[in-house]
Amino acid sequence: MKKLVMIGNGMAGVRSIEEILKRDPQKYEITVIGDEPHPNYNRIMLSNVLQGKTVLDEIIINDLSWYEENKITLLTGERVVTIDRTEKIIKTDKGNVVSYDELILATGSDSFILPLPGKDLEGVIGFRTIEDTEKMIEFARTKKKAVVIGGGLLGLEAAKGLIDRGMEVHVVHLLPTLMEQQLDAPAARMLKKDLEKQGMKFKMEKQTVEILGNACVEGIRFKDEEELACDLVVMAVGIRPNVSLAKESGLEVKRAIVVDDHMRTTDPSIYAVGECAEHHGIAYGLVAPLYEQGRALADQLTGIQGTGYQGTILSTQLKVAGCDLFSGGKIQEDDDTDAIVVQDAVARVYKKILVTNNKVVGIVLYGDASDGNRLFSMLKKGTDISEFTTASVLQKAGEEDDSAMLAEMPADETVCGCNGVTKGKIVQSILEESLTSFDEVKTCTKAGASCGKCRPVVEGILALTLGDSFDAAAQQSGMCECTHFSRDEVVAVIKDKGFQSPKEVRHVLEFKNPEGCQKCRPALNYYMRMILPTYYEDDKSSRFVNERMEGNIQKDGTFSVIPRMYGGTTTADELVRMGEVAKKYDVPLVKITGASRIGLYGVKKEDLPQVWDELGMRSGYAYSKSLRNVKSCVGSQFCRFGTQDSLGLGIKLEKELEMVDTPHKMKMGVAGCPRNCSEALTKDFGVICVENGYQLYVGGNGGTEIRECDFIKIVATEEEVITYAKAYMQYYRETGIYGERTAPWVDRLGIETIKTALVDQEQRDYYVNRFTEARDTYHEAWSAMLAKNQEKKIYEVTRV
C-alpha cells in the first residue's frame, strides 16, 4: 500500500482526502500533519463563534473518531520543517520523520499583518484560526474599544462579532467603498448604511501608518496624523499563502505554489491544493474552487481519467453581519456591457445584472440574494436571456419564492456553491439513500456543510422530493433558519402581544430575514389565521404555489385538478362536465385517485382558472394542508356486513370539516363494519361502525412509516362523531407544528393528553366552538369569492 502524506489539516486538504476515500479507500496509508491542535474544522464558521451564535465544538467537520475509522494517522500541533524530495521523507519540529510516496501540500495561508510600527504589540492579531478567535473573545471580556483594519468580508464579520461581544468598533478601510471585490458602489453604500444602524463605525479612505502603545495597543495613527484610541487591532487586510516550505524544497513558487490542472507541482510526486496553490496565475481564497481542486486531485491520485481542474468563475453568496449579498462574474460596467438595475430603497434591496450579447456576465445582489444561484447558473451556462422578463415592480413578497421555483429548477443547477452540489445530486441522494432530514443530506452530499447559507433551498428540495412524507417538525428546533424561536414560543408571543400580522412577529422577534423565508411565511400565515380567525385576513402570497393555483404541480410544470367528490360519489352531469373539460383542454390523463375521486392530470398553468370555472365544482383540496378526503365504504346502504350508514356519515364529515386549514394534510376514514374496507385505522381520524355505535380512532398514518390509530372511545350517534372530529381537528390546529402530521403529533403529545382534551366535555365544547368560529370564516370567504366571480361573469356578458 502506497504512503500518502498531507501537510495541513484544513478544509481544502481534508476534503481532498475525503474524495480519495470515496474513490479508493484501500489505495493509501494516509498520514495528516497539522500545526493547529485541533481536528479538521470549518474556518468559515469562526465568525459565528465570535458572534456567539455557535461554539467551537459545533464547527468541527471531522472529529478524531473520523480519522480513526478511516485509519488515518493524525499528528496535531506539529509543524513540518523540512521536505527531503530525494529520500521522500519529511521531518517535523517534534522530531518525527515520515516517508511518503505521494505528498500533498495543503498549508493554506496566514493573515497578512501590515508591516507597521507597533505590529508586535499585545492586542494586534489576525482573524484566521481558532486561536485568533479565542483571543478576540478574551479581549472583548476586558477591553472596550477595537479597530478592524480592512473593510472586506472578513473585517466586517470580525467587527460584527466584536460589537456583539460589547465592544465599540471602528472599521478602517483604505478605499471609499466596502467589499470592493464583491460589490459596486451603490450596493456598498447600502451595506455601509445598514451596518452603521447596527452600531458599526467607519473610517473610510484612511491609511494606517502606526500602531500606538508601549507593551499593549493604545491606539492607531493615520497618514493624515489623525489618531484613534483602541485596545485591540484586528488585521483583516488579506491573506498570504504559506509557501516557505515549498520554496525551501525547491518547488516553483510565484505568489503561491505553482500547480498544473491535476494539482501537480514541479515535482511529480508532490501536489498542492487550497489557498497555498496557484493555478494558471490565480491563487483562490474561497472554499468552492478549493473543493473543486480537491476533487481533481482525488481523481489524479486514484487513477481516474478526468479533465483536471479548469479554474473557477467566482461567486460569493454571504450574509455579512445579517445583510444578504451575492456577487458573481463582473461587478462593474464597461463598454461591452449593459446593466439591468433594480433598486428599492424602501425594502433595502439592490439588484444589478450585467449583460453582454443577451447573456449574463455579472451579478450584484444586495438585501435579497435568493436569485443568486439561479442567475449564476445562467451566467456559467451562457443562457440567452432574450425571453426572460428583466424586472418587475410591486410583486407580493414570496410570490415566486416557493416550491414552484424549486420544481422548475434544472437538475444541473448548483444549490451549494461552496461544495459544488447540484439539485440533481441532492434529489438522487435523497431517493437512493432514503434521506429524510437536512442533516442527513448535508452528511451525504456536503450541501450546506460549509457556510450553511443554502440550507433553506436544500430543505425545500428535500420537502419537494419527499412530498407528504417530509416531516418539517423534525428538521430543527427553531421554526426556521430565520429564528431560533420554536413554534410554541412564536404562537405564545402572537397571543400575548396581540400581533395583527406576520410582519409584526418577524420584526419584534428579530427574524434574520425581515420578509421571512419559504418555511416561516406559510407557517406564520397559518398560525395567525388559526389564532385570529375572525380578524386576520389570509395572505395568499404566503401560501405554497399548489394552494394558490388549487392544483398539485407535477414534475413537468403542469398541474393536477381534482374536484371534490363527497364520499367518492358524483352525478351524471358532473361526469359529463369533467369529460368535456378534459377534451377541450387536451388533458393527457384522467384517473381515479386513491381517494376515490377523478383527477385531471397535466393541466397547463394558464388553463387552470378556466378549467375550474367550467367544471363548476368545488376543489377537492388534494394539494392543501386541510382535510383532503373522507374515505368510506358503502356501508349498510348496500353491504350485507354493514352495521351503519358509513357512506352517509363520511359525506357529512367531509362537508362539516372541509376547507379549514390544519398544520398538515388530514385524511379520514369511515368503515361500515370491523372488516375495515376503507382502511380507517391508518387515517388521521378513523371511525369503525359497530352494532352499538361508532368506535373513534386517531393518529394513524398509511405512508412510508405506517402507524396504526389509537383508540379514543365509542360514541352512540353520528352527531357525536362529528363533534369529536371537530374538537380533534381544532386541538390539532392549536397544538400542532406547521408541517407536522397527526401521527408524530400524537406521539409528541401522548395519546392520554389528547384523550383528556377530547373526552372532557368542557374542553371538547371549547374546541368545537373555536372550530366553528374558524370554519365560518372559510365559508364566508368562499361565498364572497363565488359572488365576486358571478359579478365578473355578469359584467363580461353585459359588456359583450
Between the alpha carbon of residue 476 and those of residues 453, 480, 502, the distances in Å are 15, 7, 21
Alpha-carbon distance 158 to 128, whole Å? 10
The reply to whether 677 sits in an annotated binding site is yes
Say how many CA atoms lie within 13 Å of 673 toward its Cβ: 11
What one-character DSSP code corresponds to residue 59?
G
Cell numbers given for 643 = 352495521
Residues linked to residue 631 through DSSP beta bridges, in sequence order: 669
- 189 φ, ψ (degrees, to nearest 5): -65, -40
Residue 777 is inside which H or E element, if any?
A: helix 761-799
- Taking each helix axis from N to C end, the angle separating 608-615 and 572-584, rounded to the nearest 10 degrees, works out to 160
Alpha-carbon distance 319 to 326, whole Å? 9
Please state the three-class secondary structure of 743-754 as a single string. Answer: HHHHHHHCHHHH
Alpha-carbon distance 63 to 41, whole Å? 8
Alpha-carbon distance 502 to 643, whole Å? 48
What DSSP assignment string belongs to 141-198?
Answer: HH--EEEEE--SHHHHHHHHHHHHTT-EEEEEESSSSSSTTT--HHHHHHHHHHHHHT
Say how many CA atoms lie within 13 Å of 599 toward its Cβ: 20
Q: Cell match 486561536: residue?
A: 131
Number of Cβ within 10 Å of residue 237's Cβ equals 21
Residue 179 sits at the vertex; the CA angle it makes with 174 and 185, to the nearest 5 degrees, is 90
The reply to whether 639 sits in an annotated binding site is yes
Q: Cell match 431560533: residue?
A: 484
Q: Is 547 helix (H, G, I), strand (E, B) or coil?
A: helix
The reply to whether 451 sits in an annotated binding site is no
User: Based on C-alpha coordinates, what's the Rg of the chain?
Assistant: 31
What DSSP assignment string belongs to 463-480?
Answer: HHHHGGG--GGGS-SSSB
Number of Cβ within 10 Å of residue 109's Cβ equals 19
The reply to whether 633 sits in an annotated binding site is yes
CB 668 within 8 A of CB 683: yes
How do beta strands 414-416 and 359-366 pair? unpaired
Alpha-carbon distance 50 to 601, whole Å? 53
Q: What is the largest CA-CA distance in the chain?
A: 101
Binding residues: 633, 639, 673, 677
Binding residues for siroheme: 677
Binding residues for [4Fe-4S] cluster: 633, 639, 673, 677
